[in-house]
A and B are shown apart, each in its own frame.
Chain A
Amino acid sequence: MPAVQETVERVRRIDVDQYRYGFETLIESDKAPKGLSEDTVRFISAKKNEPAWMLEWRLEAYRRWLTMTEPTWARVNYPKIDYQELYYYSAPKPKKQIGSLDEIDPEILKTYEKLGIPLREVEVLEGVVKPEGERRIAVDAVFDSVSVATTFQKELKAAGVIFMPISEAIREHPELVKQYLGSVVPTSDNYFATLNSAVFSDGSFVYVPPGVRCPMELSTYFRINERNTGQFERTLIIADKGSYVSYLEGCTAPQRDENQLHAAVVELVALDDAEIKYSTVQNWYPGNSEGLGGIYNFVTKRGDCRGNHSKISWTQVETGSAITWKYPSCILRGDNSRGEFYSIAISNGHQQVDSGTKMLHLGKNTTSRIISKGIAAGVSQNTYRGLVTAHRKATGARNFTACDSLLIGDKCGAHTVPYVEAKNSSATFEHEATTSKISEDVLFYCVQRGLSQEEAVGLVVNGFVKDVLQQLPMEFAVEAQKLISISLEGSVG
């Protein structure tokens, strides 16, 4: 045992205490009064200058939420959350209406610079000509509750793509928002989604018109800064007929001793022949090595392949958060539609992950693919929970699922909970699962070739997750690879 034991000890010592994004930005903020009531909901709606229908929608969700109870079926343990002790809205105090990036508080820009987010459109402003074919990324940055900047607006507009904070979309494109908001994740869906529907403050809105291939990657960066603040962002992406969009979200938060709540909702709608690729690199603060602090990440993400031949692909790299409760899913409604879920979930220290997906086959000849890689270290618990169903009309439905778990040390746990329901005899569902440990022999082989223990673990783990990393947009695959090494060894970067 010694080699593995030693590695485990090092991982335990280094891991979560070396969170790189744990700085706090000192800015004045504009907060709603603490606690949750109809008044809080009205306050948020008023802050956003929302139309009456939107307020009504929120209030209905709030009233529904009061009748609901927090779900307990996930394999996670945490003290009871006091929803009256949280702030539900926090905005950096604006000096005036923000018209351009230059008017954003430099402190916030600095934060994003530290995070490595290319907010400033330097190249564009300076007229730098980019080589043909080089991809660019449009970024929407959400700081606590509000969206602070959306870049490349003009260029997207020329292509007909709408990419803006959802608070603006509610005012500027009410017909689209009314039609699609809550159509994938209804306000009554689950405890956290309902809470989000009542109090969401911002998030991103994307609409890609028929036949348009979005000219660049779209990206949102979420940052929780304020103490005791819940972040409830809402993202809505609509890919109209024959369109394509690739979207990436990243998340970080400062290091704090108390837990912070993050309950987001993401809805995707793909119409006929449309494709949405949604990638997440989630690195919320995971808490310290004693299990103190960290983000509670209770997220509802769902895509609706509403049209025939549509496709939705989820890729996630989950390394942060004290608790992750997240099941990005696909409703395969259109005939010949396809859903994909590629996941890397790493838990270390005292982290608890309960994550997976649902593939609901409703249309004919629908196909889905699930590749899940769970890595558990420290005293963490890592659960894959998945559901694959075929409706009785879903003739020819096919699913392939592969769940692999890797254990580092002997104090962590990996669990696989797959549910399969086929109401149609022509459905073909395949499920493969493996659990393995990083063997001492493999580590010794690597160190004999000159790698340190940490480098060896990083290399083996990156090999283990390779199939999923390849699904990420290239720029982020490299970042994700580094992040994986950091979250497991702390020696890189």
Chain B
Amino acid sequence: MSLLEVKNLKVRVEDNEILHGLTLTVNPGEVHAIMGPNGSGKSTLSHVIAGKPGYEVTDGQILFRGEDLLEMEPDERAAKGVFLAFQYPVEIPGVTTWNFLHTALNAQRKARGESQLTSPEFLKKVRAVAKSLNIPQDMLKRGVNVGFSGGEKKRNEILQMALFEPAVCILDEMDSGLDIDALRIAADGVNALRSPERAMVVITHYQRLLNYIVPDFVHVMSKGRVVKSGGKDLALELEASGYTQFEDAA
């Protein structure tokens, strides 16, 4: 059984159909890159998988380990192991990162019928995770993303990814707003989390991210469909020739 199967997915926002029958199959351990021009529906796909409100699925299905993902609330999906690293992580003033992570992890554990972590247990765990990713401890004491630089926000996303140990990670435009050094640090974090059990879906506009996170498969999206799939070389091909050819094809 595949980990994540998107079958003939059609999605509309208000009166506009954004995805016109998208199909994608992701197996454990695989890294898929989804590339495409602005407005091709890349972010819509990530939002619908995670369950963001405001999108209407008119046809098709999304299966996660064979279960109908679209029937689940977003928090249930999170507890099952679907993680979305946001393009623009939000700020939550007055809530420390440490408290947010503790509350979220316990909520997920509760949904899975696992025991709740006490504060000392949690602190030990989160410190170990932060250390393994070279993330400074003081970030945990600050308000969630409040006053964080672009790079810090992305590292916070990676910290959460490492802490929650999801089965599938969707990285939405992880490179936006990052300079090359910050990008390398973030990519190192992602690479550290690659494993034979975990799958990643890397959504990006630019090829450069894929120099650091090398995918197993590349899919090109245009106008709400996957128009071409291939290996990692497809990304290089795109870099040379641009998206125009695919826009015509779509």
Contacts and interface: CB of A to CB of B under 8 A. Distances in A.
Interface of A: 1-3, 6, 439-442, 444-453, 455, 459-460, 462-467
A455 B74 contact: no
B86 A445 contact: yes
B222 interface: no
26 contacts: A3-B54, A6-B53, A439-B90, A441-B90, A442-B90, A444-B52, A445-B86, A445-B90, A446-B104, A447-B73, A447-B75, A447-B78, A448-B50, A448-B74, A448-B83, A449-B100, A450-B105, A451-B104, A452-B73, A453-B75, A455-B103, A455-B107, A459-B95, A459-B100, A460-B92, A466-B94
Scoring B54, B89, B95, B143 by chain A CB atoms within 10 A of each residue's CB, the highest score goes to B95
A450 B50 contact: no
Contact of A452 (B75, B77, B83, B164): B75
Interface of B: 50-54, 73-75, 77-79, 83-84, 86, 88-90, 92-95, 100, 103-105, 107-108, 111, 143, 160, 164
A313 to B, nearest CB: 21
Given A6-B53, A446-B104, A450-B104, A465 B90 contact: no
Contacts of B75: 447-448, 450-453
A452 B108 CA distance: 10
A451 B74 CA distance: 9
A452 B107 contact: yes
Contacts of B143: 463
Nearest to B88: A441
A442 B95 CA distance: 12
B94 A450 contact: no
Given A450-B105, A450-B107, A444 B53 contact: yes
Given A452-B75, A465-B94, 8 more contacts: A444-B52, A445-B92, A448-B74, A449-B164, A455-B107, A459-B95, A463-B143, A466-B95
B53 A2 contact: yes
B92 A442 contact: yes
B207 to A, nearest CB: 27
A342 B94 CA distance: 16
A462 B53 contact: no
B161 to A, nearest CB: 11
B89 A447 contact: no
A60 to B, nearest CB: 48
Given A440-B53, A444-B53, A449-B78, A463 B107 contact: no
Scoring A439, A446, A455, A464 by chain B CB atoms within 10 A of each residue's CB, the highest score goes to A446
B78 A448 contact: yes
Contacts of A464: 93-94
Contacts of A463: 92-95, 143
A459 B92 contact: yes
Nearest to A436: B93
Contacts of A444: 50, 52-53, 74
Scoring A439, A440, A447, A455 by chain B CB atoms within 10 A of each residue's CB, the highest score goes to A447
A1 B54 CA distance: 7
Nearest to B143: A463
A459 B106 CA distance: 14
A447 B103 CA distance: 11
Given A440-B53, A464-B93, A448 B84 contact: yes
Nearest to B105: A450
B164 A450 contact: yes
Contacts of B53: 2-3, 6, 440, 444
Nearest to B96: A463
Contacts of A439: 90
A442 B74 CA distance: 13
